[in-house]
Structure 1
Amino acid sequence: MALSMKAKKRWSLVVLLIGLPLWIIVAVNIVALFDRPPIWLEFLIFVALGVVWILPFKKLFTGIGAMPPEDDRSDDR
């Protein structure tokens, strides 16, 4: 079941406003479980966790910034 462009925009907004802050809290708590690693390792961990959170939502964010097709333009107004 494909989402309309309007639905994709709304769900992507929900993911960015609710999901991303929750993931940041999870990432900080994961790193806090261990003794403080060297700064370069901590940086790599946060970069990896920053990439991992978006993988399940890759399809949702694809095409969000593109111009909508002609038939969907009336839905966005």
Structure 2
Amino acid sequence: MALSYKARKRLSIFVLVVGLPLYIAAALFVVSLFERPSILVELGVYVGLGILWAIPLRSVFLGVGQPDPDAESSEQK
């Protein structure tokens, strides 16, 4: 099911404002359950988790920064 431009834009804002802070808190909690590794391993875990959240949501963010393709431009009148 394809989402409309407005729906993708609203969903992307929701993910960035609500979902991403929750994901960060969950990642910090999970990492804190283990003994603290070396700084390079910890950095690698955070970088990996930082990339991992965006992969399934790529289609939501794709094209959101572009103008609305369904809106009529003033030049076409």
Count of matched residue positions in the alignment of Structure 1 and Structure 2: 72
Matches within 5 A, 1:51-66: 51-66=51-66
Q: Which structure's residues are more often helix, by fraction? A: 1
Q: 5+ residue gaps in structure 1?
A: none
What letter corresponds to residue 35 of structure 1 in structure 2? E
Aligned with 1:47: secondary structure?
A: helix
Letter in structure 2 aligned against 1:33: L
Q: What 5-or-longer segments of structure 2 have no aligned partner?
A: 73-77
Q: Which has the larger radius of gyration?
A: 2
For 2:13, give the aligned amino acid: L
The alignment-based identity, stated in percent, is 47
| TM-score (norm: length of structure 1) | 0.86
Stretches (4+) displaced over 3 A: none
Give the SS at the match of 1:12: helix
Q: In the alignment, does 2:42 pair up with 1:42?
A: yes
